[in-house]
Structure 1
């Protein structure tokens, strides 16, 4: 009977404490699931295969060496994926400069996992490009754990990202429609840009993949002491009645 009581308490409490492992998420950033606002500083949102939301915004450096401060740019969904038009150059409306490129000012796209819950552990797992021109070397930053939601990166620089909690990776000659695996670093933000310090890289971002590695039940759902007491009393009464009959 003791085993029954222990099992009953465990089942009762499991609805409020513990964790559950979740599966992978895919965001198609080419078409179908995305919608964008307009103008410099706009944002796009994408719905994953399980309903999770990914936000994306664009920036560009304010000088041609890539070392300048970030300024808000325009993010656009093209056939091959996401491209960036910086607000300072007249050629940004033409191909290939409407892509994410480093021909002149360096473009970058900031992705933010936008789950409404604070009880999800999340990791970015890979990315894909759906279009390239000339070279396709890509720099990636993952992190920003302590940053607030919708953090504004205006006036920040590539050299500031490490101090903001980001880890950097480089990928050379990225082929199209091929997943590029990311190391298991958690954080709400993912930043993709043509390889920092390089030149003539043109890409369009077609897919972002991630995984909810753990879902923790919120403490607010822990049952009230009175509920636990009533349930425990019922189990003890059941045990006592069984003992009396024995």
Structure 2
């Protein structure tokens, strides 16, 4: 066996920590990514594909359509098909404030900007940070977070409502109120330690509270500080750990599986090496 093989296998056998903190940063300088873009994470975090959506399909019940994803110094934002030209403030952020040409909100679930974060491994997100929340003191940042915990991967969300998502494998992780940049830019999320490869983050909507116990209808949150409309924010970063909690784990092998596989490979190679050495010694003695 070559020394390089031994070094490789030893490295593979090094324990993989399920508690190592992973991070993804989304700050940029005015890039228009279209509907989707892939971002790299910190060491070991892998990449995440971010896709933009908004519930602007009003004719049939506040259903999702594609949006435009952009990145600025404050982070990524979503511009809906009703939010005017790219980069127009404040609608270039995640918001639930209706289109650029209206002063009317369309609650509880209309014109809500959202993004799906599709990671290349199962992760348990632990925090979400914003880098911008508008310049108007009346604006705030109330945020809804969902994770896909169904089997396999999620179906396309296009043409579906929030309540339909929650009846087909998506789960509310939590609603988080009144984040503020720079005084309170980070929320600790996912207290239940749910793991998934697919996460959805949006401006707050009470439709995120739909579940089987309330017949999948939009229900106001018990947190009185959560309100619909006038939420504007850009996401600057996420943190998490390697998936190990409950929920959808995708097809990424767990660290223990990798260790078992690599340990078996090491044993097989060492056994072959021992046999070859024994045969060589016998030949020399003959």
Tell me, yes or no, whether TM beats 0.5: yes
Considering fraction of residues, name the structure with more strand.
Answer: 1
Q: Which region of structure 1 is more displaced relative to structure 2, 68-77 or 106-115? A: 106-115
Question: Which of 191, 194, 200 does residue 191 from structure 1 map onto?
Answer: 200
1:85 counterpart = 2:79: yes
1:135 counterpart = 2:140: yes
Structure 2 counterpart of 1:114: 120
Structure 2 counterpart of 1:171: 176
Correspondence list, 1:1-246, <5 A: 20-22=16-18, 23-31=20-28, 37-38=33-34, 42-50=35-43, 52-63=46-57, 67-90=61-84, 93-104=87-98, 105-115=111-121, 121-133=122-134, 134-148=139-153, 152-168=156-172, 169-176=174-181, 178-183=185-190, 184-197=193-206, 198-213=228-243, 215=255, 216-217=257-258, 221=262, 222-223=264-265
Query: For residues 89 and 175 of structure 1, do their structure 2 counterparts lie closer, same or farther at Cα, with a shift above 3 Å needed?
Result: closer
Q: Distance in 2 between matches of 1:66 and 1:25?
A: 39
Structure 2 counterpart of 1:8: none
1:152-195 Cα offsets, whole Å, 9 max, x none, are 32112111222332221111111225321122111111111111
CA contact (8 A) 2:140 2:180 kept: no
Name stretches of at least 5 consecutive residues in structure 2 with no aligned partner. Answer: 1-8, 99-110, 207-227, 244-253, 279-286
CA contact (8 A) 1:16 1:223 kept: no
SS in 1 for 2:178: coil
Name stretches of at least 5 consecutive residues in structure 1 with no aligned partner. Answer: 1-12, 116-120, 238-246
CA contact (8 A) 1:110 1:191 kept: yes
1:173-219 Cα offsets, whole Å, 9 max, x none, are 11225321122111111111111041121111110111115523077
Q: TM-score, normalised by structure 2?
A: 0.63
Q: TM-score, normalised by structure 1?
A: 0.72
Higher relative CO (Cα under 8 Å, sequence separation at least 6) belongs to 1
SS in 2 for 1:161: helix
Query: For residues 147 and 49 of structure 1, do their structure 2 counterparts lie closer, same or farther at Cα, with a shift above 3 Å needed?
Result: same
1:123-174 Cα offsets, whole Å, 9 max, x none, are 111111111131211111122453438x532112111222332221111111
